[in-house]
C-alpha cells in the first residue's frame, strides 16, 4: 500500500486515466483483472510478487482473446516475498522508472507457459517456472503450514532439504516433443521460461522468455550423498553439470508416473496427477520494459 500511494500520486500528477483494485484474498487478482479485461483494459500493472504476476496472467490468458487483438501489456513492481521472475528481467520496474516506461510504452514479447494436469483441457498458465515432483511436494507442504504460501529463501531451502529425505521418487516415463527422453525414478521434471525459482535458486541459466522453446530440467533419483555434495550448483548456475541432472529444450514435455505428483507453477500449487504436460504459447503477452 505504501508503494501504491507513491504511484497513485505520480499518476495523478501526470493526469493519467487509470483504475485500480486492491486484492483482498488469494486469487482475488484473477477476478479483478478479468473484470477490467471485459471492460476493454489491456494494460495491467501489479504491485506484489510472483503470485500476483501469476494471477494477472491467468486472468488474461483465460479471457476471450480475438485473433486481431494485440497482446496485453503487463508490468510488475516486485514487492512480494517471492520475487524470482523479476531476476530474469533486463531492467527491473521501479517506482522511479514506471512513469517514463508508461509514457514511451516500451515493451517486449514474453512467452507464457501452460500446465495441463491429468486429462483436463484447461491449462494453468505460468510466467516463470513450473514443475512436478519434489518442488510441488515442497510447495504443497508450505501451503499447509503457511497462510501466505509464499516462502522466503531459507524457508524454501529448509523445506527442500527435508523433502529430500521424505519425498519418494516414482518411476516415470518422460517424452519431449513426443520423443522418449527419460525412463526411471525422477525427483523433478520442470519447464522454465525464467532462470530462477525458490527465491534465488538458479535452475535454468539458459532459459529465455522469447525463445521458441522451453528449458527443461529432469532430476534423476540419486543417493543423498551425491545430491548434497552437488546441491551448491543449484545456486551458482551450474546445475546442468550435476551428475543427476538432465537438461533439454523443446516445445512440450509430458510424463506419466506410477504415482501422482504435486505440480506447481510460479510457486502456486496447481494440482496432483500422474499425467502432466508442460507447453507454452509463444509471444503471448508483452512486458513493460
- Comparing 78-82, 120-124, 161-165, 256-260, the range with the smallest average pLDDT is 78-82
List the one residue out of 203, 29, 60 whose CA is nearest residue 126.
60
* Kind plus residue range of the DSSP H or E element containing 217: strand 214-220
Among 195, 188, 124, 126, which Cα is nearest to 160's?
188
pLDDT at 20 over 70: yes
Over the stretch 52-90, which tens digit does the pLDDT of each residue have?
Answer: 999 999 999 999 875 557 799 999 999 877 789 999 998
Contacts of 188 (CB under 8 A, 6+ apart): 131, 132, 133, 134, 135, 217, 218, 219
3-state secondary structure of 252: coil
- The larger pLDDT score, comparing residue 169 to residue 70, is at 169
The per-residue pLDDT for 82 is 72
Please state which CATH class domain 2-112 belongs to: alpha beta
Helix or strand or coil: residue 40?
coil
Percent of the chain with pLDDT over 90: 81
Q: How far apart are CA 270 and CA 140, in angstroms?
A: 10
- What does the DSSP 8-state code read for residue 146? -
Give strand pairing partners of 182. 174
Grid coordinates representing 69 are 487483438
Task: Give the whole-angstrom CA distance, residue 175 versus residue 181.
Answer: 5
**pTM (two decimals):** 0.92
Q: Which tens digit of pLDDT belongs to each residue from 139-154?
A: 988 877 665 445 555 7
Residue 47: pLDDT over 60? yes
Mean pLDDT of 142-169: 76
Give residue 149's pLDDT.
47
Give the residue, 146 or 45, on which the prediction is more confident. 45
Q: Is the pLDDT of residue 167 over 90?
A: yes
The b-or-e profile of 112-151 (16+ CB within 10 A means b, else e) is bbbbbbeeeeebbbbbbbbbbbbbbbbbbbbbeeeeebbb
Those residues with Cβ within 8 angstroms of residue 268's Cβ, 6 or more apart along the chain or in another chain: 51, 54, 124, 139, 149
Residue given cell 530440467 in the structure block: 217
Q: What is the pLDDT of residue 66?
A: 55
pLDDT digits (tens, 9 = 90+) for 200-257: 899 999 999 999 999 999 999 999 999 999 999 999 999 999 999 999 999 999 999 9
End-to-end CA distance of the chain: 23
Instruction: Please report the pLDDT score of residue 43 as a whole number.
Output: 94
Distance, CA of 289 to CA of 282 (rounded, Å) = 18
Q: 113-281 belongs to which CATH class? A: mainly beta
List the alpha helices (DSSP H) in 150-268.
153-166, 224-230
Backbone dihedral region of 96: left (phi > 0), alpha (psi from -120 to 50 degrees) or beta?
alpha
Helix axes 28-38, 50-61, angle to 10 degrees: 40
Q: What is the mean pLDDT of residues 7-19?
A: 94
- Per-domain residue ranges of the chain: 2-112, 113-281
Torsion-angle region of 18 (φ positive above 0: left; ψ -120 to 50: alpha; else: beta): beta
Amino acid at each position: 500500500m505504501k508503494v501504491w500511494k507513491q504511484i497513485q500520486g505520480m499518476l495523478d500528477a501526470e493526469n493519467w486515466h487509470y483504475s485500480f483494485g486492491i486484492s483482498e484474498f488469494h486469487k482475488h487478482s484473477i477476478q479483478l483483472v478479468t473484470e477490467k479485461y471485459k471492460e476493454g483494459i489491456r494494460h495491467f500493472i501489479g504491485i506484489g510478487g510472483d503470485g500476483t504476476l501469476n494471477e494477472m496472467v491467468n486472468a488474461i490468458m483465460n479471457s476471450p482473446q480475438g485473433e486481431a487483438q494485440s497482446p496485453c501489456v503487463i508490468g510488475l513492481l516486485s514487492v512480494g516475498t517471492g520475487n524470482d521472475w523479476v531476476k530474469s528481467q533486463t531492467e527491473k520496474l521501479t517506482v522511479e522508472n514506471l512513469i517514463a516506461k508508461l509514457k514511451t510504452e516500451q515493451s517486449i514479447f514474453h512467452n507464457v507457459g501452460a500446465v495441463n494436469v491429468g486429462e483436463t483441457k484447461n491449462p494453468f498458465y505460468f510466467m516463470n517456472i513450473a514443475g512436478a515432483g519434489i518442488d510441488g511436494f515442497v510447495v504443497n507442504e508450505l501451503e499447509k503450514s503457511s497462510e501466505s504460501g509464499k516462502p522466503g529463501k531459507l524457508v524454501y531451502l529448509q523445506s527442500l532439504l527435508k523433502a529430500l529425505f521424505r519425498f519418494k521418487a516414482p518411476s516415470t516415463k518422460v517424452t519431449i516433443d513426443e520423443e522418449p527422453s527419460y525412463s526411471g525414478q525422477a525427483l523433478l521434471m520442470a519447464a522454465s521460461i525464467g532462470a530462477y525459482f525458490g527465491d534465488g535458486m538458479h535452475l535454468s541459466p539458459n532459459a529465455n522468455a522469447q525463445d521458441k522453446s522451453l528449458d527443461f530440467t529432469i532430476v534423476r533419483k540419486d543417493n543423498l550423498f551425491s545430491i548434497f555434495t552437488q546441491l551448491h550448483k543449484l545456486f551458482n548456475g551450474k546445475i546442468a553439470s550435476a551428475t543427476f541432472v538432465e537438461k533439454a529444450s523443446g516445445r512440450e514435455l509430458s510424463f506419466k508416473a506410477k504415482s501422482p505428483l504435486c505440480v506447481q507453477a510460479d510457486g502456486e500449487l496447481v494440482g496432483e496427477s500422474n499425467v502432466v504436460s508442460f507447453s507454452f504459447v509463444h509471444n503471448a503477452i508483452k512486458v513493460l520494459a
